[in-house]
Structure 1
Amino acid sequence: GLMGLKIHDLLSNQGTINPLYYKSHGELLEEIGELEKLIIQAKVLEKREIESKLKKLREVLQDQNIFGNPKTKLLLFTEHRETLDYLAGNEALGIKGKLQEWGLTVTKIHGGMRIGDRDSIGTRIYAEREFREESQVLVATEAAGEGINLQFCWLMINYDIPWNPVRLEQRMGRIHRYGQEHDCLIFNFVAHNTREGRVLDKLLERLREIRSALGTDQVFDVVGDVFPANMLERLIRDLYARKTTLQDVLDRVVKEIDIERFKRICRSTLEGLAKKELNLSAIIGKSAEAKERRLVPEIVEKFFLGAAPITGIHPTKSKNESYRIGRLPRTLFPIAERLQGRFGPLGKEYKYVVFDKKHLAEDPTLEWVTPGHPLFEVVREDVWDKVQDDLHRGAVFYDLHHKEPYRLDVFAASIKDGRGNTLHRRIFVVETDMNGALTIRQPTLFLDLSSAPQGTKVPDDSELPDRSQLELCLVEKALTPFLNEVATQRLKETDTISRHIRISLNELINRQNLILANLVERQQKGEELSGLISQAESRLDELNGRLERRLAELEKERQMTIGDITHLGRAWVLPHPERTQFSRMVRDDEIEGIAMDKAMEHERSRGWQPEDVSKEDRGFDILSKNPVSRDVRFIEVKGRATIGEIAFTKNEYETASRLRKDFWLYVVFNCAGTPELHPIQDPARLGWKPIVKIDHYHVGADVILQQGTKDEER
């Protein structure tokens, strides 16, 4: 065999071998024979270890029901490309992997693959997509420990353990990250009958103990700060070089991975975060706004299903609340290229998509489409481009609650800093009544209106304020307050940044001055250091320049201006022709005022802080906050002179459906006599019936009385 040929070559060239290493030809043959025995033994042991490891792998897969449940995904890490080919196969070499022989669908990622995209076969992103949609197992080398998001998988096996514990943490981070819905299960394969295996086992044991003691996975985030990356490898090399003993190495692992050191580092990490100028009260104050504006999956789904056909996409409903998309129209790809830098590449085909993340727990192969996903953003952009002409032509709507017509003009405007960066861009609506009075309204106002049939006549607006007057009102009543709000926030941010830049760069400048002073002093004593002094002076100039340049940039960032005011479209709103028929649902301002007073009084009596937002078209009337717990109630108030059915506008109904348990309906009956308050939490569950003619929803008084009694004590 090959070993025999090598021995023959060695004997043939023995004249070139240093005679100091052997005494005779016979001794050389004897030593070669011993080496051949050792090689055979090593191969037997290696084969035995491979078989033992493979057997254990199959046991784990059976225990985790991998063979019985194809939807359970497995991420398997190995250190070596040869092992990867052994397990996952190599088509180029004609090798079929063991996992494939066991009937599993397998894909792989290794360091020789480029990043690529979801449509380029043989790339890392394609393999990630293949793992998500088709393959049950991903076998990977360290390449998958960097930049790939696999949170749809929660089972991982470290078939080989890296000597660098930081790399172990990176592997775990592929599945144990934001968005993971399951507890992650990770198996580490360690050979207990080897010295390095015992050391690795001790390392993992200590990490488990500390994780249990601290009650947090943060132990894996800071392991690199406690146990340097190269320490384990160095210890094992010293062990095999007989510079230390196995017990010494195990003791060193216990000493270095100490719970008190982990506590100190975890504590300092949190303290460092707390010192980063975090305005905690501002963050808490923003929580109500975040709840109010969050997009629930139903809203995203409704928009996408309505918009997709306009772009040439025709989703078909499938099982598990998913939709089949199929291949995308070519017309979308120029738009996708324009948006790729912000949202990533668009795939050529999407099999099944969902709009609610909860469905991924049942089937991780589904694609979750939501704002920020390239498919969603391309559809939104294409629809926006296609409706521009319609927006400019305008529209006509009906309003059940207004007696007189009014006009709505829609604008978009931006706030920019002195460097030309757009900080915010929003939509604004200016209402003009028939007397020419101008009012700023919220875009959500349109959700309360019903579409009028095509050809509906509108009033003459030649005597109403023109575009320039509308823009003047917009600047005075909406954009200037908006500008002041943004400028105040930006000033705080830039002051904080400026303070930290001065501290850090001045520290570097002071150090460089000391270095320069030391060099000059040594030169005065006779050393030739002109080259080093020149370099030190250049470095000092560069640091001073950086400080001046960055402070100048921050000064520009403090300068706020209003820009890009764009008129998007106009609409007329007329009194609803069914207003008389549905008069029982038309708002009575006097009754509603009594109901609002009763609701505000109730909130104050509970120790809460209510704010009247009924004029802001937000889908509710009162924003009430608990000053202690920071809990928030979004309250819609409905008043009735006696006792009667209650109606929601489309905006109110969708807001209640979006906010669910944070949304409360306060119904006040008998406002014409002694007002009675009936609070109801999560009113979207009451079984509202739609009234198509007027785009409203209604529920009977008996439902309110029954449910209000249950919720009053909450």
Structure 2
Amino acid sequence: MDIAVSDNSGIRTTSAAYLIDCFPGTQELTSANQNHISKEEITVWAYEYITEKQIAKVRTSRELECDIRREYLQGAFTDLISERICEIGDLDQLSLCGENVSKERELLENHIEQLKKRRSLRFEELRLMTELDAELPEVLTSAKIFPLPDKIEIGIIADDVRDAFHRDTDVERIALQKSMEYEKEQDAIVSDVSKENVGYDVRSERNTGEIRYIEVKGRAQSGEVILTENEVNRLRQLGDKAWLYVVTHCKTESPKLYQVQNPIDVLETKEILKQIQYVVKEESWKKHAC
């Protein structure tokens, strides 16, 4: 089963963890200005970008498996048929000496024909195993996701942390780039998983064997950072392997990186927005950063 999300960036697959960052609305929300995508459009997109790729992957794996089986069966049947042919040869030698072996010879010839038919049947079964037919995917359900209304945000969030809620894609990009560059400088194998909604942004495997699962937060200058419930739960689960990288002054020529190991265990977090988001004070993450 896959989950697809449609927004201003188009349609794409995402992790089921994406839904953890959402919660049921408490008031009537209008979708008059929201772009609506039909179930048919989702189905066509899913077939092209999910089903066809899955079919191609399964077909490649199945063909490899069938090739191995075909090679094994070819050898096994060839050996069996060769043995029967040798036995017929032995009977022919006895026939030259005057013995009546016609019945035994007929049985062996029939056995050879049976083996050839069984071989053809097994090869046909292998051929059919590589013929895969895909059906259109079924859309099980859908949900509309709205951003948090401003009046709810204003009523709940204090002035000193409200700035942390305003997303800046340039700041996020710079923070992620700075964090990955730092890890690469440590001769680590670095993977960007920020689009996969797995609860962290970067997976880094150092040549010492250490693996870091890194959540990256960026600030144009400095200040509080916001963690979602999905991020909090995942980082808590990862324990000492979890790291929070806070990159400050992203809009300057010298961004600064702070690293906090096992952030959920050591940092002070304040729950806001019904367990959907948590704020980490600047003095808290700076106190525990290395």
Alignment partner, residue 272 of structure 2? 691
User: CA offset at residue 520 of structure 1?
Assistant: 3.9
Which one of the candidate residues 230, 236, 253 is aligned to 1:657? 236
CA deviation after TM superposition for structure 1 residue 462, in Å: 9.7
Query: Within 2, Cα distance between the matches of 1:672 and 1:588?
Result: 10
3-state secondary structure, aligned to 1:527: coil
- By how many angstroms is 1:596 displaced? 0.7
Partner-residue secondary structure (3-state), 2:6: strand
1:559–1:659 CA distance, 2 compared to 1 (3 A): farther
| From 448, 471, 475, the counterpart of 2:21 | 448
Q: How does 1:121-520 map to 2 (within 5 A)?
A: 426-433=1-8, 437-453=10-26, 456-460=28-32, 464-520=36-92
Equivalent of 2:176, from 568, 575, 596? Answer: 596
Deviation at 1:669, TM superposition (A): 2.4
Deviation per CA, 1:327-376: give whole Å up to 9, x if none: xxxxxxxxxxxxxxxxxxxxxxxxxxxxxxxxxxxxxxxxxxxxxxxxxx
State the shift of 1:568 in Å: 0.6
Aligned 8 A contact 2:43 2:136 in 1: no
Task: Please give the root-mean-square deviation of Cα atoms over the aligned residues, in Å.
Answer: 3.1
Aligned to 1:707: 288
Deviation at 1:595, TM superposition (A): 0.3
Alpha-carbon distance between aligned partners in 1 of 2:70 and 2:231, rounded to the nearest angstrom: 44
CA apart distance, 1:604: 1.8
For residues 585 and 450 of structure 1, the distance between their equivalents in structure 2, rounded to whole angstroms, comes to: 20
Say if 2:212 is the partner of 1:610.
no
**Structure 1's 463 and 667: CA in aligned 2 closer, same or farther, altered over 3 A?**
closer
Q: TM-score, normalised by structure 1?
A: 0.36
Q: Confirm or deny: 8 A CA contact 1:619 1:636 kept in the other structure.
A: yes
With over 3 angstroms needed to count, the CA separation of the structure-2 counterparts of 1:570 and 1:522, relative to structure 1, is same
Corresponding residue for residue 153 of structure 2: 579
SS at match of 2:259: strand
Conserved in 2, the CA contact under 8 Å of 1:430 and 1:440? yes
1:442-482 CA-partner distances (Å, limit 9, x unpaired) = 332111112213x6344148973322222222222333233
In structure 2, the partner of 1:16 is: none
Greater relative CO (CA pairs within 8 A, separation 6+) = 2
Structure 2 counterpart of 1:525, which letter? C
Please say if residues 164 and 223 of structure 2, whose CA atoms lie closer than 8 Å, have aligned partners that are also in contact. no
CA contact 2:63–2:130 (8 Å) conserved in 1:
yes
* 1:666 shift after superposition: 1.9
Give the count of matched residue pairs: 280
Which of the pair has more CA radius of gyration? 1
Structure 1: tracts of 5 or more residues without a match? 1-425, 710-714
Partner of 1:558: 130
Output the amino acid matched with 2:65.
Answer: E
> What secondary structure is seen at the aligned counterpart in 2 of 1:601?
helix
Query: In the alignment, which residue of structure 2 is the partner of 1:669?
Result: 248
**CA deviation profile, 1:52-91 (whole Å, cap 9, x unmatched):** xxxxxxxxxxxxxxxxxxxxxxxxxxxxxxxxxxxxxxxx
Find the aligned partners of 2:47 and 2:29 in 1 and give their Cα distance. Answer: 31
Q: Secondary structure at the match of 2:196?
A: coil
Alpha-carbon distance between aligned partners in 1 of 2:129 and 2:287, rounded to the nearest angstrom: 57
**Are the structure 2 counterparts of residues 599 and 560 from structure 1 closer, same or farther at C-alpha, using a change threshold of 3 Å?**
farther
By how many angstroms is 1:437 displaced?
4.2
Aligned equivalents of 2:68, 2:283: Cα separation in 1 = 57
Give the conservation status (yes or no) of the 8 Å contact 2:4–2:11. Answer: no
Q: Does 1:621 align with 2:194?
A: no
**Displacement, 1:571?**
0.5
Letter in 2 for 1:592: E
Q: 1:539 to 1:579 in 2, by over 3 A?
A: farther
Percentage of matched positions with identical amino acids = 25
CA distance in 1, matches of 2:234, 2:251: 28
Q: Which residue of 1 aligns with 2:121?
A: 549
Q: Matched residues in 1 for 2:264 and 2:101: separation?
A: 80
Q: Which residue of 1 aligns with 2:213?
A: 634
Q: Contact between 1:440 and 1:477, CA under 8 Å: does it hold in 2?
A: no
- Whether contact under 8 Å (2:222, 2:249) holds in the other structure is yes
Separation in 1 of the partners of 2:107 and 2:187?
67
Q: 1:536 aligns with which of 108, 111, 115?
A: 108
Residue pair 2:192, 2:202 contacting (<8 A) in 1 also: yes
Q: CA deviation at 1:573?
A: 0.7
Q: Residue deviations 1:212-234, cap 9 Å, x none?
A: xxxxxxxxxxxxxxxxxxxxxxx
CA shift for structure 1 position 592: 1.0
Distance of aligned partners of 1:689 and 1:536 in 2 relative to their CA distance in 1, 3 Å threshold: farther
| Uncovered stretches (5+) of structure 2, i.e. residues with no partner | none
CA distance in 2, matches of 1:551, 1:487: 17
Letter in 2 for 1:449: C
- Cα deviation per residue 1:88-125 (whole Å; 9 max; x = unaligned)? xxxxxxxxxxxxxxxxxxxxxxxxxxxxxxxxxxxxxx
Partner secondary structure for residue 478 of structure 1: helix
Task: Rate the CA distance shift 1:657–1:495 in 2: closer, same or farther, 3 A.
Answer: farther
Shift of 1:567: 1.3
Which string of whole-angstrom CA distances, capped at 9 and with x for unpartnered residues, describes residues 130-163 of structure 1?
A: xxxxxxxxxxxxxxxxxxxxxxxxxxxxxxxxxx
Which letter does structure 1 place at the counterpart of 2:88? Answer: L
Q: 1:661 offset after TM fit, Å?
A: 4.1
